[in-house]
Amino acid sequence: MNKLPKRYFFSKICIALSCALSIPVIAAEQNTENNVAETEIERIVTTGSRIKRTELEGVVNVFSITSDDMIKNGFSSVYDALANNTAATGAVLGEVNTGSYTPGAKELNLRGLGPEYTLILVNGKRLAYYPMPFGGQTNFVNLDMIPTAMVDRIDIQTGGASAIYGSEAMGGVVNIITKKGIEGQYIDIDGGVDTYGSNRRKSVSFVGGYSKDAWTLDYALEYKDNAGLFSSDRPYHDSLWDNPAPNGNRELNRSITVYSLDTPTINNYSTQYCNTETNPHPKAVQHFIQRNNYGMSCGWDETGDNHLINKNQTFSGYLNSEYELSNDLTLFANGFYISQEKKGSRGTLFFNDTEFWDPDLANKDGSQGASVKYMWRKVLDNEYTNDGYGRTFKDTSYSFNFGVMGQFADLDYSLGFSRSEYDFSDRYLHNTKTGLSSVLGAKLGEVNNLPIHRPNYGLWFGELTPDSALQIADWATYQGNSFNNTFTADITGDLFELPAGPVAFSAYIEFMNEGTEAIPDERVLNKEFEGLTGVTTKGERDRYAAAIEVLVPVTDTLDIESAVRYDYYDDDSNVGGAFSTQLGLSYRPVEEVVFRTAMGTTFRGPDLAAVYKGFSGNFGAGNDRILADACKQLANSDEALEYDASALATSCANADLQSNPDQPSLQVNFESVSTGDKSLKEETGSTFTAGIVYEFNEYLSFNIDYYDITIKDKIQVLSAGYIMSIDYDCQTGVFDSNSERCKNMASRIQRYDGAGNGTDRLGNPISGDPYTPHTITEGYINASERQDAGVDIGVKGLAETDLGSFKYQFNLTRTLKKKERLRAGDELLDLLDDQNNMDFRTLANASVTWEHDNTAISVLANYKGALWNNANYGDRVKLPAWTRYNLTLGQQLNEDARVIFTINNLFNAMPPQDETFTGYPFYRMGAYDTLGRQFSLRLTYAF
């Protein structure tokens, strides 16, 4: 594997740019055989091992994406490059899901295991977590806060690597290597727009390097601006009429509603107040809806108001420096700072669920007065802001690393300290209980135990201003901070000689202090905002680790590598210490072929959110099978054991007893809450990889690698749906109702009493439908097992012709196994072909780059395999595969300047049409996107 491919030597501009964000566009062959013969081959450290070596192929598969690859494939950020990697088979939340906890962040989901199982490093050092947990549950690294201009390459190791890198590396490792040794300076100006004239982007970066005697300095400054993207910018989902379902609902939204059940129509007051001459609204119109007896309604088509990409401004800076004190001792320091402001659509919904009596409503029986169950109104962001963006994220992060490195007795060593910190804020408007009370007005008495109100319907239906909006709502804020301090020391070199070569080793120690804090507006936790919940996390811990690796050349063709690492958690959890091991071998029967395999144990300590989360809330809905059975019994016999028949009848009004008489259903709404659990233990697991690498010559090489990952004691949230399901099985005799498991499930469900009264988590009295659940307490458990296996295939090569050189590459990932069980006693379920498995089974990409004289052309094809549609479980079918193409054209203008033109999604491919996906955005978020064809032009000048 030491065969040296033909090298290309570039002009001054190309040398500088190959160290930065560029693709080579001038090539001139030169004979370098004599130079190679006289050059000593340098040992380097590769991702996946800390042992310095000359061989690039180790016992595990490491795939690299260079800065050149990023440009020629049309990737403008680290996240874009990683998200298009074939190992990223799992869905993410992303910016489209504006209702999630993290719409301002971007996460990576390798192997579909979840973002928390991939370790993200910069130059081998950990980064501070995004302060807000993913889905409100787990910690992850925000890849949108990695400066692009500083990246030299990105290494991706597939398979577990706990024995090398410790916790979080159960599914893989991403190591972002930054630039060093840059020659000269260059400025890079980039601008872009899409085929619809939207999503305008611009960036400018200044990158360079300086060296004198024993001192070197590398630097990069970068500014990025993105105008953002709304659904209205895409014909795929700019209107309700884009609903692909043949019988889909294509009527205007009921955006402003006063909702009652005992009146001639459910919606009220639209005729009197909806965009009338005396009460105007910028968008609402009166429209009649016959179904469900909604009647005259007030609203507009809300589809185009949603946000696909946040408006974004980013500034970042990077420095790297080394000073050689002597031949054996060097000082080093590097780091980056990045600041980002994102603005997005909030889509604020003012919602009042306090039932009251309106004396002015006409009842069904012709009498005056009726109860109003709900009031809601959608608020346009431009009603209360100057720029039309209702949510603002401000993030800043920095990371630096400094220390000494050198040689001692032919051994290489380094001592270093690194610190990474992340600050976060999130601000948006939401209605308060006090504000809603002001809309309802004074209490005028009571009817049927309901307060009487005459609300200010003019304010409710009319156009809001910043001042009037703040009569009903207020700004809610989130603040967060996370940090990571790490001291490391390592030594590597040769221990002694064997006939086949030296025995190499690496020893490593690590001392880490990390913490995170996410604190919402205290009014969120105190329920002063109506219908708003949040998550709070605050904790800190110390971690210590020691590791050793050994590489033994058994013969000239066989190497064995072993590693063992011990990690100790000094925190409030039950982890303590944990060992992880790895054993691998590489076999070279001939120079061109390498067989490699590695097996090891892995672990992951509970993340900070799982241990120290003080509270996490959500609003959920589900089928209350227990109460549905009682409703069926009531319908058949006019009574139900343990229930008051008249009270139960109130709740059963919403039950479905006809669709499936054997399994009646009753959909109920509830609040779900969860907290951290300090009794959690570590997750354990195993990893196995095996592969072959064949490199015939520079014209053709390929690899086939199999991976098999098992995670046990997997930390998972005990969901509200699971709790309700097990509680039903306990009460129907499937499980022993007196068992601890059943008692635990029952204790997690709080229900309204027969009078519809209950108490929320703050001790406040609440009311609702009798006997329905109002609060379900979720929680973390060490309960499940996950098994994943698959194959990675890669082919690459270079062909020389009279018409120019052709460089090609092909990568494919195919998932072969996906199994899971929630609890130790449960059956191991095969999820690979299950209709609830919404991870891609097959991902692939292929690229070809042609270079001739001063011109280069690159084409990338990105393939996503078939995915289940959104039909009911049991009726789902696979959607067609999805392929997009990127085209990049590069032209060297002179020795110092070049231009690159890129078209992403060349044929403007949109997600496969799913006629069963009846809700916005009419495709599965996190799996597809509707960004469409995008153009960018980049001008680079070196000096």
Q: Express each pLDDT in 770-810 by its tens digit.
A: 999 999 998 888 878 999 999 999 999 999 999 999 999 99
Place of tokens 């959608």: 378
Q: How sure is the predictor about 158, in pLDDT bands with cuts at 50, 70 and 90?
A: confident
Any idea what the Cα angle at residue 127 is, between residues 121 and 131, rounded to 5°?
140
Two structure tokens written together for 471: 């009569």
Rounded CA separation 83/94 (Å) = 11
**How much is the mean pLDDT over the chain?**
89
Q: Flag whether pLDDT at 29 surpasses 80.
A: no
Rounded CA separation 306/230 (Å) = 6
Burial class (CB in 10 A: 0-12, 13-18, 19+), 856: buried
| Average pLDDT rounded to a whole number, residues 157-181 | 91
| Average pLDDT rounded to a whole number, residues 879-896 | 96
pLDDT at site 101: 63
Q: Which of 804, 901, 890 is nearest to 17 (CA)?
A: 890
Two structure tokens written together for 351: 């919602």
Two structure tokens written together for 204: 């400018």
Residue 743 makes CB contacts below 8 A (sequence gap 6+) with none
Which of these ranges, 47-56, 294-303, 771-780, 909-918, has the smallest mean pLDDT? 47-56
Q: Which of 849, 850, 831, 851 is nearest to 841 (CA)?
A: 831
Place of tokens 């520079």: 698
Rounded CA separation 14/892 (Å) = 9
Angle between helices 740-747 and 720-731 (to 10 degrees): 130
Residue 885 makes CB contacts below 8 A (sequence gap 6+) with 859, 860, 861, 862, 905, 906, 907, 909
Q: Flag whether pLDDT at 151 surpasses 70.
A: yes
The SS3 call for residue 576 is coil
Quick check: 126 and 139 in contact, CB under 8 A? no
Q: Among the residues of 638-739, which ranges form H helices?
A: 645-652, 720-731
Rounded CA separation 526/617 (Å) = 12
Q: Which of 837, 843, 832 is nearest to 868 (CA)?
A: 837
State percent of the chain over pLDDT 90: 69
Q: Which of 417, 393, 510 is nearest to 131 (CA)?
A: 393
Residue 254 makes CB contacts below 8 A (sequence gap 6+) with 267, 289, 294, 297, 298, 299
Place of tokens 């097990």: 726
Burial class (CB in 10 A: 0-12, 13-18, 19+), 31: exposed
Using DSSP bridges, classify how beta strands 882-892 and 855-864 pair: parallel, antiparallel or unpaired.
antiparallel
| Average pLDDT rounded to a whole number, residues 166-194 | 94
The SS3 call for residue 428 is strand
Residue 280 neighbours by CB distance under 10 Å? 12
Two structure tokens written together for 474: 């207020």
Place of tokens 């809001």: 464
pLDDT tens digits, residue range 66-94?
999 999 999 999 999 999 999 998 877 76
Residue 188 makes CB contacts below 8 A (sequence gap 6+) with 20, 21, 149, 203, 204, 205, 206, 207, 938, 939, 940
Two structure tokens written together for 830: 């095969």
Q: Which of 265, 20, 56, 83 is nearest to 884 (CA)?
A: 83
Rounded CA separation 910/929 (Å) = 7
Q: Flag whether pLDDT at 11 surpasses 60.
A: no
Q: Which of 437, 344, 286, 266 is nearest to 97 (CA)?
A: 344
Burial class (CB in 10 A: 0-12, 13-18, 19+), 544: middle
Rounded CA separation 385/391 (Å) = 10
Place of tokens 């009146």: 263
pLDDT at site 100: 58
Q: Cα–Cα distances in Å, from 177 out to 68, 161, 335, 481, 845?
A: 13, 18, 12, 25, 23
Encoded amino acid at 133, one letter: P
| Average pLDDT rounded to a whole number, residues 269-291 | 96
pLDDT at site 617: 82
| Average pLDDT rounded to a whole number, residues 748-777 | 92
Q: Which of 8, 184, 71 is nearest to 942 (CA)?
A: 184
Quick check: 914 and 244 in contact, CB under 8 A? yes
Q: Cα–Cα distances in Å, from 787 out to 437, 596, 707, 710?
A: 52, 22, 11, 4
Burial class (CB in 10 A: 0-12, 13-18, 19+), 327: exposed
Q: How sure is the predictor about 761, in pLDDT bands with cuts at 50, 70 and 90?
A: confident
Two structure tokens written together for 908: 């403007």
Rounded CA separation 618/639 (Å) = 34
Q: How sure is the predictor about 55, in pLDDT bands with cuts at 50, 70 and 90?
A: low
First to last CA, the chain: 37
Q: How sure is the predictor about 96, in pLDDT bands with cuts at 50, 70 and 90?
A: low
Rounded CA separation 529/431 (Å) = 6
Quick check: 423 and 398 in contact, CB under 8 A? no
pTM over 0.75: yes
701 DSSP β-pair partners: 695, 796
775 DSSP β-pair partners: 671, 750
| Average pLDDT rounded to a whole number, residues 717-721 | 86
The SS3 call for residue 329 is strand
Rounded CA separation 286/74 (Å) = 46
| Average pLDDT rounded to a whole number, residues 156-176 | 90
Rounded CA separation 171/114 (Å) = 9
**How far, in whole angstroms, is CA 834 from its chain's centroid?**
23
Q: Flag whether pLDDT at 4 surpasses 50.
A: no
pLDDT at site 876: 94
Residue 467 neighbours by CB distance under 10 Å? 8
9 DSSP β-pair partners: 28
| Average pLDDT rounded to a whole number, residues 495-506 | 94
Encoded amino acid at 747, one letter: S
